[in-house]
Structure 1
Amino acid sequence: MQLQKELQEHGAAPAAAQSRFSVLFGKMDVRAYTMVGALILIWVLFGILNPTFLTSRNLSNLFTQMSVTSILAIGMVLVIVAGHIDLSVGSIVGLTGGMAAILSNWLELPAIVVILGTLAAGAVLGLLQGWLVAYKMIPAFIVTLGGMMVFRGVLMGVTESMTIPVSDPVLALLGNAYFARGFGIILGIVAVGFLFWSTFNKRRSRKKYDFAIAPLSIDIFKVAGLSLLVAVFVAVMNNYKGIPFPIIFVIVLAAIFYFISTKTTFGRHIYAIGGNIEAARLSGINIKRKTMLIFVLSGLLGSIAAIVLTSRLASATITAGNMAEMDAIAACVIGGTSLMGGAGTVIGAIIGALVMTSLDNGMSLMGLESFWQYVVKGSILVIAVWLDISNRSKGVK
């Protein structure tokens, strides 16, 4: 009961204080819809300034480029929601990517062994940092800052600062192949079917327990709009070569972690810890174990991103993953994750990653110097945090 009370105090505003729009469309959806609108505006702007931006080829490349940031952002969401930060994921990408190249090129191990070894390495690195944060009570900022430097240094030492090529055909497929056009159509049909099923299943569930239900026309409009987006995505990808492999990884991981964060006890506990750690402790939540586990997951996702990046580049370099942690954090914050903890969604992080990548891609096509990309993305990050703090201040009042 204490946990429920605290969650009510630090979570969503009561229904009576919500606007009619929030009641109809859902509190968690408003931020997402705003970000989608901003993303569309960005695409329209770049499309006008450079027609190449909206071509199927460029959009396919854009989605492929966002895959690494998206995978890292999925893991970063849980870390930030729990009230921590992980500055080491970029270096984990570099180190585990280097390990994958060494296992494949120098030791000539089979692709499956390389993949499993890389994933295990990422999980172990996350476990080590999670243990230091959870059980030794060292602030996550310090632990992961140290990890960022240590892992990068180990990568430079092990590889002797050399670029290691990767020629295994199986590994090459993971970051560069495309699914057949027929697969994209099947995937689109499955996605649309799931949207209809989940929406109307949710309506039945809410009706069963006498919860408020949005008008049927609103839900139909939402599902129709999302279905249209799915259809457009599949059509655009199929117009080039098909859906890229990396995007499938992003979709699958997003679905898994969306389920974990919203439908499991573990996910609810993470939000409770970030919302009010004392209330979570009094409610009997094993905070140390949960904290260590989120860093394990973050490290694991870092190694998955490393496999995708190493495959795309067909090599491992000492600069791989450099500043990737900043892009992941920015994607989460832009997508609505609060740096104060307790709030954030996987879907929002994906949208944030797409916004970040779209800005990079669009400005590159326009021929703007790279410093402008840092200026624009940094400014957007500060504005996003300011909006989050402003909204929370209004909620407290």
Structure 2
Amino acid sequence: MAVNTNSLKKMLKGNTMIFILLAVMLFFQALIVGFGKGSLFAPENITNLINQNAWVVILATGMLLCILTGGNIDLSVGSVICLVGAVAGILIVNLGWPVIPSIIVCLIVGTAIGAWHGFFIAYVHIPPFICTLSGMLLWRGVALILLGGMTISPFPSTFMNIFNSYLPDLALEQATDELFEASEDAYYALVDKNAQITLIVTLIIAVICCFVTVASALCSRASKKRKGYSVSSAGSFMGKQVVLCAVIMLVGWLLAQDKGLPLILVILAVIVGIYSYYTQNTVPGRYLYAIGGNEKAARLSGVNTDNVMFFAYTNMGFIAAVAGLVCAARLNSAAPTVGTSYEMDAIASCFIGGASAYGGTGTVGGAVIGAVFMGILNNGMSILGVDANWQRAVKGLVLLLAVIFDVVSKKRSSSK
């Protein structure tokens, strides 16, 4: 019985943030329904939640790598987003460049900015806070110069569809406009048919995601057992997979009731999958944790800490460029105010998701959970009509509580 109790305590401790997230979701659902504002779990709201907070997940994924190196952060990412959006607007809208070459140039610009920061941080040894603070001012200024204080819009549909389309893409609008003029019965029949196709395809994709998730978890568990690492009990493991698959199917069903699977969700899944594998299953990824745990010991062990720091910040520039393109497509414009305080949401997502303020601890999955938590806070308070100033105050308090929890937990662990 004692073994079961210890296993339960370990499970609860390892999934604390998930339970808190569920509690917050239920809390907002009760408030929203109670005030007659609709439902937090309405299909349209789930779609909006994904689209509106995609950039937070993307930024949090890159920010985690910086935080792992010792609690370091990048304050410039909001300005980089603005600058990348400005470059995209100038190339695609003003100069009429093809979309794909323009996207490649934007990614190169972001990566180059990250390498600029990484060089001074890793090799000149300027503190990351100071270096990225200067970058926040510098790149925002460059963006304002390029934009001339004006907003560039609209982007062509070829650019917008890369980030804003849905699976399956049924190209419904043109056909229904023509049909509606000819026959309302044919119009509604086509709408019903496309709704059925959307439901079936989305659920099939959800089932495939469940299969891939379970297969990946089984392979990871088998690998750990072969290497002699401790793993959770079979019952706990299976229970976790059942719950995870149930969540995937529920989200898939809700999305199928609206427009289908947002393409941006596919992009997020690819980014999260790649960085999860990199941090957890590769030697360079583990170097990030080693530096955050004890930089001097990592250096004495043969880890080139300067190169690892350079990579972390170069990668952050690349990730910020991706987020900049997503924001430009979401807003259908490149504006001087885009990206303001975005870095704060990304940093908060990582700390709320379990990353340590001292570095060396945290996962990509945790950062994603933190980003979802921030998105639920933003979305729930917006639906309830909470003033924007109060929203900032609440998010600031939540961040403080997350860091306090981390510090207190570390003190308790060190005292044992």
CA distance in 2, matches of 1:294, 1:101: 27
CA distance in 2, matches of 1:52, 1:195: 29
Query: 1:94-120: CA deviations, max 9, x gaps?
Result: 001110010101111100011100000
Equivalent residues in 2 for 1:316-331, closer than 5 Å: 316-331=334-349
Query: 1:215-258: CA deviations, max 9, x gaps?
Result: 32222111111000000010011110011122222111001100
Q: Which amino acid aligns with 1:21?
A: L
CA distance in 1, matches of 2:401, 2:159: 39
- Counterpart in 2 of 1:74? 61
Structure 1: runs of 5+ lacking an equivalent: 1-15
- The equivalent position to 1:33 in structure 2, one of 15, 18, 25, is 18
Verify the 8 A CA contact 1:35 1:352 in the aligned structure 2: no
Verify the 8 A CA contact 1:42 1:358 in the aligned structure 2: no
CA distance in 1, matches of 2:117, 2:6: 42
> Does structure 1 residue 263 correspond to structure 2 residue 275?
no
> Does structure 1 residue 58 correspond to structure 2 residue 45?
yes
- Counterpart in 2 of 1:12? none
- Counterpart in 2 of 1:242? 260
Q: Which amino acid aligns with 2:291?
A: I
> Does structure 1 residue 293 correspond to structure 2 residue 280?
no
Verify the 8 A CA contact 2:51 2:330 in the aligned structure 1: no
What percentage of residue pairs aligned between the two structures are identical? 34
- Counterpart in 2 of 1:273? 291
> Does structure 1 residue 20 correspond to structure 2 residue 7?
yes
> Does structure 1 residue 369 correspond to structure 2 residue 387?
yes
CA distance in 1, matches of 2:322, 2:220: 32
- Counterpart in 2 of 1:5? none
- Counterpart in 2 of 1:157? 145
> Does structure 1 residue 391 correspond to structure 2 residue 399?
no
Residue 167 of structure 1 deviates from its aligned partner by 2.6
Report the 3-state secondary structure (helix = DSSP H, G, I; strand = E; otherwise coil) of the residue aligned with 2:306.
Answer: helix
Q: Could you tell which deviates more after superposition, 170-179 or 54-63?
A: 170-179
Verify the 8 A CA contact 1:46 1:53 in the aligned structure 2: no
Verify the 8 A CA contact 1:69 1:327 in the aligned structure 2: yes
Structure 2: runs of 5+ lacking an equivalent: 169-197
- The equivalent position to 1:184 in structure 2, one of 178, 202, 209, is 202
CA distance in 2, matches of 1:212, 1:66: 35
Report the 3-state secondary structure (helix = DSSP H, G, I; strand = E; otherwise coil) of the residue aligned with 1:315.
Answer: coil
Verify the 8 A CA contact 1:88 1:144 in the aligned structure 2: yes
Q: Which amino acid aligns with 2:91?
A: L
Verify the 8 A CA contact 1:310 1:316 in the aligned structure 2: yes
**TM-score, length-normalised on structure 2?**
0.87
Q: Could you tell which deviates more after superposition, 299-308 or 38-47?
A: 38-47
Q: Could you tell which deviates more after superposition, 155-164 or 197-206?
A: 197-206
Q: Which amino acid aligns with 2:264?
A: P
Equivalent residues in 2 for 1:84-95, closer than 5 Å: 84-95=72-83
- The equivalent position to 1:111 in structure 2, one of 99, 118, 124, is 99
> Does structure 1 residue 123 correspond to structure 2 residue 111?
yes
CA distance in 2, matches of 1:279, 1:344: 19
CA distance in 2, matches of 1:353, 1:42: 18
Verify the 8 A CA contact 1:337 1:348 in the aligned structure 2: yes
Report the 3-state secondary structure (helix = DSSP H, G, I; strand = E; otherwise coil) of the residue aligned with 1:164.
Answer: coil
CA distance in 1, matches of 2:321, 2:201: 27
Verify the 8 A CA contact 1:132 1:143 in the aligned structure 2: yes
CA distance in 2, matches of 1:203, 1:265: 18
Q: 1:167 to 1:203 in 2, by over 3 A?
A: closer
Report the 3-state secondary structure (helix = DSSP H, G, I; strand = E; otherwise coil) of the residue aligned with 2:166.
Answer: coil
Q: 1:262 to 1:35 in 2, by over 3 A?
A: farther
CA distance in 1, matches of 2:227, 2:137: 52
Q: Which amino acid aligns with 2:167?
A: F
Report the 3-state secondary structure (helix = DSSP H, G, I; strand = E; otherwise coil) of the residue aligned with 1:53.
Answer: coil
CA distance in 2, matches of 1:37, 1:167: 37
Pick the structure with greater CA Rg: 2
CA distance in 2, matches of 1:251, 1:204: 23
Q: Could you tell which deviates more after superposition, 53-62 or 166-175?
A: 166-175
Report the 3-state secondary structure (helix = DSSP H, G, I; strand = E; otherwise coil) of the residue aligned with 1:231.
Answer: helix
Equivalent residues in 2 for 1:192-207, closer than 5 Å: 192-207=210-225
Q: 1:73 to 1:284 in 2, by over 3 A?
A: same
Residue 365 of structure 1 deviates from its aligned partner by 1.2
Q: 1:86 to 1:153 in 2, by over 3 A?
A: same
Report the 3-state secondary structure (helix = DSSP H, G, I; strand = E; otherwise coil) of the residue aligned with 1:223.
Answer: helix
Verify the 8 A CA contact 1:60 1:240 in the aligned structure 2: yes
> Does structure 1 residue 44 correspond to structure 2 residue 29?
yes
Residue 362 of structure 1 deviates from its aligned partner by 1.3
Q: 1:393 to 1:234 in 2, by over 3 A?
A: same
- Counterpart in 1 of 2:226? 208
Q: Which amino acid aligns with 1:289?
A: N
- Counterpart in 2 of 1:10? none
CA distance in 2, matches of 1:348, 1:363: 22
Q: Number of residue pairs matched?
A: 379
Equivalent residues in 2 for 1:297-312, closer than 5 Å: 297-312=315-330
> Does structure 1 residue 356 correspond to structure 2 residue 374?
yes
- Counterpart in 1 of 2:161? 173
Verify the 8 A CA contact 1:175 1:309 in the aligned structure 2: no
Verify the 8 A CA contact 2:29 2:40 in the aligned structure 1: no
Q: 1:211 to 1:339 in 2, by over 3 A?
A: closer
Query: 1:152-211: CA deviations, max 9, x gaps?
Result: 111111110100013322111133211113543333122211222123323433443454
> Does structure 1 residue 345 correspond to structure 2 residue 330?
no
CA distance in 2, matches of 1:76, 1:210: 31
CA distance in 1, matches of 2:38, 2:117: 46
Q: Which amino acid aligns with 2:30?
A: L
- Counterpart in 2 of 1:6? none
CA distance in 1, matches of 2:149, 2:361: 40
> Does structure 1 residue 136 correspond to structure 2 residue 145?
no
Residue 20 of structure 1 deviates from its aligned partner by 3.1
CA distance in 2, matches of 1:361, 1:104: 31
Q: 1:70 to 1:58 in 2, by over 3 A?
A: same
Verify the 8 A CA contact 1:90 1:322 in the aligned structure 2: yes
